[in-house]
Amino acid sequence: MKERGSGILLHITSLPSPYGIGDLGTSAYKFVDFLVDTKQSYWQILPLNPTRSEFGNSPYNGISAFAGNPLLISIDILVEEGVLLKSDLEEDTLFPVDTVDYDRVTSHKEKILQFAYDNYKNNLSNDHEFESFCKENDFWLNDYALFISLREEFKGKTWGHWPVDIRDRSKIVMSGLKEKFRDKIIKQKFFQYIFFRQWSSLKEYCNVKKIKVIGDVPMYVNYESSDVWANPELFKLDKEKRKTLVSGVPPDYFSVVGQLWGNPVYNWDVLKATDYSWWINRIDHYLRMYDMLRFDHFRGFVAYWELEAGRDTAMIGRWVEAPGKDFFTKLLRNFPKLPVIAEDLGIVTPDVRELMDCFGFPGMKLLIFAFGDDFPNGPYLPHTYSENCVVYTGTHDNNTIKGWFRTEATSEEKSRLFKYLRKEVDEDGVHLELIRLAMMSRADIAIIPIQDLLGLGEEATMNRPSRTEGNWQWRLLPSQIKPVIVETLKEKTEMSGRG
C-alpha cells in the first residue's frame, strides 16, 4: 500500500448471469473491464467458500475454509470447452434477475454439474492438470471430498452424530469409505478442479489488467465443515466432538443483543503447539487466490468473545486472550510481505491497535460511522486518517449510504454530516458526497461498495447481521452500469490522484 488507489466491493454472486447467481464467466470479465475503464486498482470480494441454505447461504459460514463454491462455476465456459453440451442445458429455467434464489439455483446447478462430470469423468485419468491439482491440494481436498460424500450419504446429518468410527475418523474405516465412495470423491475433486481453473483464469485476467483482488479471510469456520471434522483438536469440542464454546460478539453497533455466530472457537494452545500449521496452510492457499487479504474480525486474534453453546443471544460470554503477536510473527516468517487489511471495526481496545501498529497492518475506516456522538473527534472522519488505512463508505454488513440516510440516520447525524460537508444534501445525492470524501481522503486505498456507487437504497443491502434470512441475495442488473456511472467514477478517481 505505497500508492493511492481505489476499487469496488462486489461479490461474485451479485454479478449478472442467466443461471440465477453470479459466476466466473462473462459478466465477471466485463466487470474487470469496467474497473479498468474507470481507472480502478482493486476488486474486493467476499469469501468464495461453499455455502449452504441451512447456514443462511453466508460466505462466512462455509463448509470448508479451502474449497471453492461450485455454484460459482460458469456453465457457459464449460460449454465453450466442450465439457457440457448444449443439449445438457435444454431445460428452460428462468430465475429472478435481481436476487439469488439459492434453493432453486442449487438444485439446477448441481444437476448441470453432474452432466459435466458424467461427460468428462472418463478423461480424468489422462488429465495431467487434474492430477497435479489433486496432488497440490491433497492437504485439504481429500478430507473435503470425503466429507461432502458422507454428508450426502447421511442426508445432511451433522457429522457429530455420524457413527462413532466415522465421526472419529478410524483409519481402517476411513480407508474403506474412500473406496466405497470413490466415484463421489472424484466428482467433488473434479468440481474443485473446475472452480479453481476458472478462478485462476479470472484472477490472471485481473492482474494482466493491473487490477488487484482483495479476498476475505473469515475468522472462524463452520462446525459443519470438513476442517473441524478433520482437525477436531484445533477447536474447543467435548469428548464426543460436539461444540462446547462458540463464537460471537457482545452488543455493538450492529445488534443490541450482540451477534451469536455459533462457530466453534479455536483451541489456540494446540494451534500454537503445532506452529499454527493449519493457519499457515490456509494463508498460503489464500495468497495463491488473492493479491491482498482482509482479515475479518481481526480483534479475535487479540481476544475473542466466547460463550457456552446453546445460548439464544451473545450477551452473556467472556473475553479470552489469543496469541496474536506470536501468531503473526510466525505468519510473517513464512510470508514476509503479508498483504493484510485488518477489519478493526466494533469494539477495539488498545491491545488491538498495538498489534496492528507492531506489524504495520492498515485498518478500516467507515464513513457511515463518522457522524455519531463522537463527532468531530471520532476516528472515522477523513481529516483524522493516516495514509496507512483503507476507507469505505460502508461494508457488506451495513445499510447502503442512501438507505442509512433515509431510514437510520438521526437528525443529529444528518446535521453533523451537513456541517462537515458545509452544505445540505438529500437522499439522492448523499452517496456521491461520501464517495467524494472517501476518494479525497489521505487513505491509501478507497473502496466503494457497488450499491453506494449506484446510489441504491436499503433494498440493496447485502447482509443484515441481526437478520437470519434474506441475506446475501442482492444482484446487480446490467442496465445499472450506465455511462454516467462510468464517467463519474473515472472523474472522481482521477481528481483524487487514485487513477
Q: Which residues are catalytic?
A: 296, 343, 397
Specify whether the CB–CB gap between 299 and 352 falls below 8 A.
yes
Element (H, E) at 292: strand 292-295
Question: What CA–CA distances, in Å, run from 440 to 7, 94, 362, 402?
Answer: 14, 43, 18, 20
Q: Which three cell numbers stand for residue 309?
A: 453453546
Is the preceding peptide bond at 264 cis, omega within 30 degrees of 0?
no
Residue showing cell 455455502? 51
What's the chain's Rg over C-alpha atoms?
Answer: 23
Q: Are strands 245-249 and 259-264 parallel, antiparallel or unpaired?
A: antiparallel
76 vs 84: CA distance, rounded Å: 9
Beta bridge partners of 340: 293
394 vs 292: CA distance, rounded Å: 19
Q: Which amino acid is at 80?
A: E
Is the preceding peptide bond at 59 cis, omega within 30 degrees of 0?
no
DSSP 396-439: TTS--HHHHHHHT--HHHHHHHHHHHTS---TTTHHHHHHHHHH
217 vs 190: CA distance, rounded Å: 24
Phi, psi of 8 (to 5 degrees): -120, 140
